[in-house]
Amino acid sequence: MTLTAASLIKTATGFYEAQALYAAVELGVFSKVADGPVPFERLRDDLGLHQNVAGDFLDALVAMRLLTRDASGYGPTAAASAYLTPGAPEYIGGFLALNQRRLYPAWGDLTSFLKTAANLAHGAKVDDPMPALYATPQRTRSFAEGMDGYATLLGRPISEKFDWSSVKSFADLGGCRGMLTTRIAAAHPHLEGVTFDLAPLNPLFDELVASTDLGTRVRFQAGSFFTDPLPETEVYVIGHVLHDWVESQRRQIIQRAYDHLPAGGALLIYDSMIDDQREESAFGLLMSLNMALLSGSSEYTIAQGEGWLREAGFQVDSPVALNELTTLLIGRKPQ
């Protein structure tokens, strides 16, 4: 793609669209229009918008393909109904809210960070970024709701792109409050699943599972994947976890997974991995900077991930694209 001055300006002002999206989620725009078109004046008043800016804001959401507009008022597009309406199966609003509260401010002084590599958000330390996230119940809930956004989107492709037919059980290591566990278990009624994560997430897991009919097939096991015994199961899933840690810790996690798996077991790793030439995956590279800002860690290339798997003893399948942002690696423990 050839860059022009106009495309550079669009990149430089990309935060306009991001903030408009964040504001729409925070204001509850999509829940207001979930049942059908709402007239302008009513929507403006329901949202508490000032009359001088309401029209531009709502019409900007139309131009962004988030709202529709006709003679009867404003309604949701298909994408907004699927991903931005609270209660929708693939709702990502919690992830967007986490971006607005935690990630957007962390990027506010990128220039200084690039000179010092020391501007870590919330005082997180490289050796353990988790305590700050779970310092209070509200922080724990906010983080879990943010992670739900990714898990809801990846549950379907992971359920479809890995062959679960001969598997009886699995565990999501670092699985937060269990959204991915419940998605995989719901897609495959023969499976039993475990969410393995730190104890503060257990009440949120129980809350989530209580809203499903999966209570007899999924459970929570509290623990650290560095020090505690891992669940006894056939498949481990590790997603958006390795990028929280430095390389020596990643190797340790993968090796412990290998050691705990039975012969013939599998380890599934997914992340926003970087292409091996480090020149195409703009999202992965920027996500790598994001992880450095937050916890002093990074993303990694596909080849690096494959190398850690082989080093631990796994046989490695070809990489699988879960979506345009996420790559899945599959390591199999020899029989």
Separation CA 86–CA 146 (nearest Å): 13
Separation CA 89–CA 189 (nearest Å): 18
Separation CA 122–CA 27 (nearest Å): 26
Separation CA 221–CA 173 (nearest Å): 10
Separation CA 266–CA 167 (nearest Å): 10
Q: What is the dihedral of CA 148, 152, 268, 139, to 10 degrees?
A: 0
Name the residue among 142, 160, 129 with its Cα closest to residue 241: 129
Cα–Cα separations (whole angstroms), residue 144 to 24, 67, 98, 137, 220: 21, 27, 9, 10, 14
Active site residue 243: yes
Alpha helices in 64-124, H assignment, sequence order: 78-83, 93-98, 104-106, 110-116
Of 50, 122, 190, 243, the catalytic one is 243
Helix axes 179-187, 137-161, angle to 10 degrees: 30
Structure tokens at 31: 């829940």
Cβ neighbours around 216 below 10 Å, total: 8
Cα–Cα separations (whole angstroms), residue 187 to 136, 148, 163, 194: 33, 17, 12, 15
Name the residue among 202, 203, 185, 98 with its Cα closest to residue 150: 98
Q: Indicate which residues carry an active-site annotation.
A: 243
